[in-house]
Structure 1
Protein backbone atom coordinates (compact mmCIF):
# COMPACT_ATOMS: atom_id res chain seq x y z
CA UNK A 1 0.00 0.00 0.00
CA UNK A 2 1.26 3.46 -0.77
CA UNK A 3 2.47 5.41 2.27
CA UNK A 4 0.33 8.49 2.92
CA UNK A 5 2.70 11.41 3.49
CA UNK A 6 2.39 13.87 6.30
CA UNK A 7 -0.72 12.41 7.95
CA UNK A 8 0.10 12.34 11.63
CA UNK A 9 -1.87 9.20 12.51
CA UNK A 10 -1.64 7.37 9.18
CA UNK A 11 1.93 7.75 7.90
CA UNK A 12 5.01 5.68 8.54
CA UNK A 13 8.05 7.91 8.92
CA UNK A 14 11.43 7.31 10.50
CA UNK A 15 13.29 10.48 11.51
CA UNK A 16 16.39 11.46 9.50
CA UNK A 17 19.03 13.92 10.67
CA UNK A 18 17.03 16.83 9.26
CA UNK A 19 13.51 15.69 8.38
CA UNK A 20 11.05 12.81 8.28
CA UNK A 21 11.54 10.05 5.74
CA UNK A 22 8.29 8.83 4.15
CA UNK A 23 9.05 5.58 2.27
CA UNK A 24 6.99 4.97 -0.87
CA UNK A 25 5.30 1.73 0.21
CA UNK A 26 4.53 -0.02 3.49
CA UNK A 27 3.13 -3.55 3.36
CA UNK A 28 2.08 -6.02 6.01
CA UNK A 29 3.04 -9.46 4.75
CA UNK A 30 0.96 -12.60 5.29
CA UNK A 31 3.47 -13.82 7.87
CA UNK A 32 2.93 -10.66 9.95
CA UNK A 33 6.19 -8.92 9.07
CA UNK A 34 6.32 -5.45 7.54
CA UNK A 35 8.00 -4.63 4.23
CA UNK A 36 9.01 -1.03 3.54
CA UNK A 37 10.05 -0.06 0.00
CA UNK A 38 11.71 3.19 -1.03
CA UNK A 39 12.09 3.42 -4.80
CA UNK A 40 15.01 5.43 -6.19
CA UNK A 41 15.83 5.94 -9.87
CA UNK A 42 19.30 4.71 -10.77
CA UNK A 43 20.67 8.25 -11.11
CA UNK A 44 19.57 9.17 -7.54
CA UNK A 45 20.35 5.87 -5.80
CA UNK A 46 23.83 6.96 -4.68
CA UNK A 47 23.16 10.58 -3.72
CA UNK A 48 23.44 11.76 -0.10
CA UNK A 49 19.68 11.65 0.53
CA UNK A 50 19.35 8.07 -0.73
CA UNK A 51 22.39 6.89 1.23
CA UNK A 52 20.97 8.36 4.45
CA UNK A 53 17.56 6.78 3.85
CA UNK A 54 19.09 3.43 2.96
CA UNK A 55 21.26 3.42 6.10
CA UNK A 56 18.26 4.35 8.25
CA UNK A 57 16.07 1.66 6.64
CA UNK A 58 18.75 -0.99 7.05
CA UNK A 59 19.24 -0.05 10.71
CA UNK A 60 15.47 -0.15 11.29
CA UNK A 61 15.35 -3.62 9.72
CA UNK A 62 18.31 -4.86 11.75
CA UNK A 63 16.85 -3.66 15.05
CA UNK A 64 13.44 -5.20 14.34
CA UNK A 65 14.62 -8.72 15.20
CA UNK A 66 13.29 -10.08 11.92
CA UNK A 67 9.84 -8.48 12.02
CA UNK A 68 10.60 -5.77 9.44
CA UNK A 69 12.20 -5.68 6.01
CA UNK A 70 13.55 -2.68 4.13
CA UNK A 71 14.54 -2.51 0.49
CA UNK A 72 15.57 0.32 -1.82
CA UNK A 73 15.56 -0.98 -5.40
CA UNK A 74 18.13 0.63 -7.69
CA UNK A 75 16.25 1.90 -10.70
CA UNK A 76 14.19 -0.83 -12.32
CA UNK A 77 15.64 -3.63 -10.21
CA UNK A 78 12.24 -4.54 -8.83
CA UNK A 79 13.32 -8.18 -8.55
CA UNK A 80 15.27 -7.01 -5.51
CA UNK A 81 11.98 -6.66 -3.64
CA UNK A 82 11.04 -10.29 -4.27
CA UNK A 83 14.57 -11.34 -3.47
CA UNK A 84 14.40 -9.57 -0.13
CA UNK A 85 11.07 -11.13 0.81
CA UNK A 86 12.09 -14.56 -0.48
CA UNK A 87 15.43 -14.53 1.34
CA UNK A 88 13.72 -13.91 4.68
CA UNK A 89 11.18 -16.76 4.49
Structure 2
Protein backbone atom coordinates (compact mmCIF):
# COMPACT_ATOMS: atom_id res chain seq x y z
CA UNK A 1 0.00 0.00 0.00
CA UNK A 2 0.86 3.65 0.19
CA UNK A 3 3.41 4.97 2.67
CA UNK A 4 4.77 8.32 3.75
CA UNK A 5 6.64 10.02 0.92
CA UNK A 6 10.33 10.94 1.05
CA UNK A 7 11.37 14.52 1.75
CA UNK A 8 11.84 15.27 -1.98
CA UNK A 9 8.10 14.72 -2.59
CA UNK A 10 7.18 17.17 0.18
CA UNK A 11 9.66 19.68 -1.19
CA UNK A 12 8.20 19.46 -4.71
CA UNK A 13 4.49 19.51 -3.85
CA UNK A 14 4.57 21.93 -0.91
CA UNK A 15 6.62 24.45 -2.87
CA UNK A 16 3.47 25.24 -4.86
CA UNK A 17 1.46 26.59 -1.88
CA UNK A 18 -1.78 25.58 -3.57
CA UNK A 19 -4.72 23.39 -2.58
CA UNK A 20 -2.55 20.26 -2.88
CA UNK A 21 0.64 21.41 -1.16
CA UNK A 22 0.50 23.84 1.73
CA UNK A 23 0.88 24.29 5.47
CA UNK A 24 -2.68 25.41 6.10
CA UNK A 25 -5.17 28.05 5.15
CA UNK A 26 -5.13 31.50 6.74
CA UNK A 27 -7.59 34.24 5.78
CA UNK A 28 -8.50 32.30 2.64
CA UNK A 29 -4.91 31.97 1.41
CA UNK A 30 -2.79 28.84 1.30
CA UNK A 31 0.28 29.11 3.50
CA UNK A 32 3.79 28.24 2.31
CA UNK A 33 5.64 25.66 4.38
CA UNK A 34 8.94 26.83 5.77
CA UNK A 35 11.90 24.57 5.04
CA UNK A 36 11.79 23.13 8.57
CA UNK A 37 8.06 22.46 8.31
CA UNK A 38 7.85 20.86 4.86
CA UNK A 39 6.73 17.54 6.34
CA UNK A 40 4.37 19.21 8.79
CA UNK A 41 1.75 20.46 6.30
CA UNK A 42 -0.43 18.24 4.12
CA UNK A 43 0.24 14.52 4.02
CA UNK A 44 1.97 13.21 0.91
CA UNK A 45 2.41 9.53 0.16
CA UNK A 46 4.17 7.35 -2.36
CA UNK A 47 1.78 5.40 -4.53
CA UNK A 48 2.82 1.85 -5.43
CA UNK A 49 0.70 1.25 -8.55
CA UNK A 50 -0.02 2.76 -11.96
CA UNK A 51 -3.80 2.29 -11.53
CA UNK A 52 -5.37 5.75 -11.00
CA UNK A 53 -6.44 6.49 -7.43
CA UNK A 54 -10.06 7.57 -6.99
CA UNK A 55 -11.92 9.09 -4.06
CA UNK A 56 -15.40 10.55 -4.29
CA UNK A 57 -15.28 14.34 -3.79
CA UNK A 58 -11.50 14.23 -4.05
CA UNK A 59 -9.06 15.67 -6.55
CA UNK A 60 -5.77 13.79 -6.83
CA UNK A 61 -2.36 15.12 -7.87
CA UNK A 62 0.57 12.94 -8.84
CA UNK A 63 4.21 14.01 -9.05
CA UNK A 64 7.06 11.80 -10.19
CA UNK A 65 10.01 12.85 -8.02
CA UNK A 66 13.36 11.03 -7.84
CA UNK A 67 11.86 7.70 -8.98
CA UNK A 68 8.92 8.02 -6.56
CA UNK A 69 5.29 8.43 -7.58
CA UNK A 70 4.10 10.98 -5.01
CA UNK A 71 0.39 11.53 -4.40
CA UNK A 72 -1.86 13.78 -2.35
CA UNK A 73 -5.60 14.47 -2.34
CA UNK A 74 -7.73 17.58 -1.97
CA UNK A 75 -11.24 16.87 -0.68
CA UNK A 76 -13.70 19.38 -2.12
CA UNK A 77 -16.24 18.83 0.64
CA UNK A 78 -13.95 20.21 3.36
CA UNK A 79 -14.19 23.92 2.52
CA UNK A 80 -15.64 24.80 5.94
CA UNK A 81 -14.17 21.83 7.84
CA UNK A 82 -10.66 20.90 8.89
CA UNK A 83 -8.62 19.57 5.97
CA UNK A 84 -8.26 15.81 6.66
CA UNK A 85 -4.89 15.77 4.86
CA UNK A 86 -3.23 18.33 7.19
CA UNK A 87 -0.93 16.79 9.79
CA UNK A 88 -2.60 17.02 13.22
CA UNK A 89 -1.15 19.59 15.60
CA UNK A 90 1.13 17.80 18.05
CA UNK A 91 1.99 14.99 15.60
CA UNK A 92 5.62 14.01 15.10
CA UNK A 93 6.11 15.16 11.51
CA UNK A 94 9.89 15.12 11.09
CA UNK A 95 12.99 14.30 13.10
CA UNK A 96 12.77 16.37 16.26
CA UNK A 97 9.63 18.20 15.02
CA UNK A 98 6.16 18.13 16.56
Range class of TM-score, shorter chain: under 0.3
Relative to its length, the structure with more strand (as a share) is 2
Q: Using structure 2 for the length normalisation, give the TM-score.
A: 0.26
Relative to its length, the structure with more helix (as a share) is 1
